Amino acid sequence: MKHKKRFYVLSILLLLGSIGYSQNQLPSALTDESIECVECHKSDDVSLYQQWGNSKHYGANVGCYECHQANEGDADAFDHYDYTISVIVSPTDCARCHENEVNEFVNSHHSKAGQIMGSLDNVLAEVVEGNNAFITPGFPHGNSAAAVNGCWQCHGSQVKVLEDGTLDPATWPNSGIGRINPDGSAGSCSACHQRHEFSIAQARRPENCGKCHLGPDHPQKEIYDESKHGINFYANVDKMNLESSKWVVGEDYSAAPTCATCHMSATENQNITHNIGLRIKWNNRPIHSKLSHETDEKWGLASASIHADKRRENMEDVCAACHNDNFTDNFFIQYEGLIDLYDRKFATPGEKLYKAALPLLRKDEDGNHIKFADPIDFTWFELWHHEGRRARHAASMMAPDYTHWHGTYDLAKNFYSKFIPEIEEIIVHGMKSNDKKDKKAAKELQKLLNKTLNSENHQWYLGKMDPVEKARRKKASDEFKARYK
């Protein structure tokens, strides 16, 4: 089969993709430059030397200099024992051998992760959580240590080169996957393929993704661990054939899928891809779930031409290695039902209420809303950014506890016990104001709140449940109690 031809270069396969050379093009021996590098580093940096010695690079006679060589005039180039090198190995450097993999990566959401800078997340890290006390040569006006040590380490920072050729400590070390490198390239291959061994087994394990994909707002790692997929992986890790150069699901292993299996690795019908969005139909990060090709279009990615429905077909192909069509089709019906529930009941009405409340929230001297200066700012942010994401992500990966108790339960609890009472309190304060604009805004907000709470999704909160539904629920409750008398 076509896909097999690409993966059988056993002795030289690197990471999740093939090395970009045919076997007879590979160096027959280490270059003199790399030999000289090794002579020092094998004693000065023993761990790095050992890691490289265990790598596919070593087996292919690819050494230190082949990756770290630089040209005079490069932004981060410096002289090192008469050699011009750079510390950072950027995607541009990796593309010397791995051109296809890098092209896929740089056109994916991963390489654009740095675009989060300036978002609400960064307002939190830089202003609410942080200050400007972290002063470095590259940031004489200061920076937030919370952002430097938090956001930037996953999303990436813009690495700044100082006048003496060293890298600014606010921006390096950094393996953020959307890092902006001194050569202008975006991304960091080492975010997933850890230096200097670049183990394919390590890159395929779910822990590899867990550096960034975990926590209250995107706990994919915890979700995976809870799912049947994760349970099977940890119970059968010895059957996963993780070291195999050719790693086709359903052919080389069948015990369980990992993150790489579903989003990147080969199937009988698909090659490896380093564009992790090509098997994802829905982008569940925003307030409202978006079709993935629409996000790609907004970000200017070439993959915008691949419709979300086609991406679902790509994922269904992965599922087909272990599941029949009925199982897979019904799963997607369940999953998209949860997306619809979240949006109709919470996201759409919640966003309308929050926006209607903005004129009544704290403002700066220019009349602009001060983000996160009122309790409702945090409440609304967590409703969609935390609970809403958890519910959607968990449903997409078949984790029932996260879908319910960490997702829709927390979403409903905070919507009714915090968000709605805070809206009501804002209305009261607005009505008491001597400002006519405030009174008008409060009246409009009250009107919208009444409409929302009297709608089908929320009328239970007012004791106005539909009589037929009320009777049905009482019958079910009575039957439950009777069973446990």
DSSP for 93-115?
HHTTT-HHHHHHHHTSTGGGGGG
Rounded to whole angstroms, the Cα distance separating 382 from 413 reads 12
The confidence score (pLDDT) of residue 217 equals: 96
Rounded to whole angstroms, the Cα distance separating 221 from 261 reads 14
Residue 153's CB is within 10 A of a number of other CB atoms, namely 19
For 197-208, write each residue's pLDDT tens digit.
Answer: 999 999 999 999
CA 121 to chain centroid, in Å, comes to 14
For 158-201, write each residue's pLDDT tens digit.
Answer: 999 999 999 999 999 999 999 999 999 999 999 999 999 999 99
371: helix, coil or strand? coil
Dihedral sign, Cα of residue 67, residue 69, residue 75, residue 79: positive
For 104-162, write each residue's pLDDT tens digit.
Answer: 999 999 999 988 776 888 889 999 999 999 999 999 999 999 999 999 999 999 999 99
Tell me which of 12 and 222 has the higher pLDDT. Answer: 222
The confidence score (pLDDT) of residue 10 equals: 36
Q: What is the mean pLDDT of residues 92-102?
A: 96
Domains of the chain by residue range: 2-89, 326-453
The confidence score (pLDDT) of residue 121 equals: 84
pLDDT, the chain, mean: 93
Q: What is the mean pLDDT of residues 7-17?
A: 37
The first and second tokens of residue 290, run together, are 């978006």
Q: Is the pLDDT of residue 301 over 80?
A: yes
For 72-91, write each residue's pLDDT tens digit.
Answer: 999 999 999 999 999 999 99
The confidence score (pLDDT) of residue 302 equals: 93
The confidence score (pLDDT) of residue 485 equals: 81
The confidence score (pLDDT) of residue 63 equals: 96
